[in-house]
Amino acid sequence: MRVLFALRVDAFRRIGGDTVQALKTRDALQSLGVYVDLTTDLNAPFRGYDLVHLFNLVRVHETFWFARRAVREGVPVVLSPIYWDFDQVERRWQEALLSLALSILGRDMTERLKTVARIVLRGERNVAALVQLVYGYRRQQQQVVAWSSCLLPNSTAEQQVLGRRFNLRNKLIAVVPNAADPLFAEGDGSRFKQRYGLDDFVLCVGRFDPRKNQLRLVEAVGNLGIPLVLIGSAAPNHASYYRRVTSAARMVRPPALILGPVGVRELADAYAAARVHVQPSWIETPGLASLEAGLAGCNLVVADVPPVREYFGDYAWYCDPGDVSSIRRAILQAWESPPRLELREHIAKNYTWERAAQVTLEAYREVLGARSDES
């Protein structure tokens, strides 16, 4: 079986959860004997592939472009949506200008304006972005779902949200769990301490942007006297948010340590050195960092949203991402509790890339089998 993974054009310049999911799924599928290529080239040839596997229904313009090409060339499409409906929560966390735009213009026009901004400010002049201006954001999402032979959401909650937004009647769906690499159970906290002079701290790993909610986390830690470490890249379209976070982080006592992106081994060491990992995001599906931190032995504080609770059940401490007091209470509870070893066992048993690949391969076979029956 030959499969092509097609990702957004900047997937390796701006690495996100979709990038990691694609790379790890590719590796695990290859160990099962599937030949997998990966491309970010909008004009990559599809000839010779049995399937095209697409990622990301939220940033949809490249996904739409790839899907339309695949359908025209007669290659079946499998979609990992990595989707959540942001309309209700986004008005609570977005910066004032975008929140106003959402309220007045609605999602479709706001997304078109964001596409214009990418073209003008980032120079992202690829044809897929231009097509979205004409076709429309919502219409592209609906069409990609319609063209896909199979959807692979990361949770039952994500599947339910997709069902409320799109027509999934007679659609093949397989829930593919997200996962954590076993190497995150092998970090050495002493190496992190030797390098930065810190261990036994609260850690937050993730890109700096309002959805990840680091500013409220910094406010919640405040003057508790608990060391805070933030690791992640600054989202290029949220530079002002990053400045607000770093400014606030300098005011906490002790001052927070802010690191940019780090390598996988150093990240594993950071998880091993931390006592609590906090991910108070407005939306996660469920957040690779929380899976990695839990596997490393951290107690977890996470936002109380359906995909996250589906993964972690009673093994984590939950908070309201909009309430600083709620975040603070959850942090203190997790900080004062012994490590939950059963959380590590839960993640190691249920959330592996090998399991994700097995479910994905079964879905591929079902798609190709149905196609064979039709011909």
Q: pTM of the entire structure?
A: 0.89
Residue-wise pLDDT tens digits, 334-368: 999 999 999 999 999 999 999 999 999 999 999 99
Q: How many CB atoms lie within 10 A of CB 74?
A: 8
Q: Sheet with 2-6: list strands edge to edge.
A: 35-39, 2-6, 51-55, 77-80, 150-151, 172-173
Quick one: pLDDT at residue 250?
92
Quick one: pLDDT at residue 126?
73
Quick one: pLDDT at residue 47?
95
**Structural domains in the chain?**
2-179+352-374 (3.40.50.2000), 182-350 (3.40.50.2000)
Residues of the chain with pLDDT under 70: 86-125, 374-375
Mark 12-35 as b/e (b = at least 16 C-beta within 10 Å): eeeebbbbbbbbbbbebbeeeebe
Residue-wise pLDDT tens digits, 183-239: 999 999 999 999 999 999 999 999 999 999 999 999 999 989 999 999 999 887 788
Length of the chain (residues): 375
Q: How many CB atoms lie within 10 A of CB 268?
A: 24
Long-range contacts of 369-373 (CB under 8 A, 24+ apart): 370/149, 370/172, 371/76, 371/149
Quick one: pLDDT at residue 14?
87
Quick one: pLDDT at residue 136?
86
Whether omega for the bond prior to residue 286 falls within 30 degrees of 0, making it cis, is yes
With vertex at residue 88, the alpha carbon angle to CA 58 and CA 233, rounded to the nearest 5 degrees, is 50
> 149 is written with which tokens?
């032979």
Mean of per-residue pLDDT scores for the chain: 91
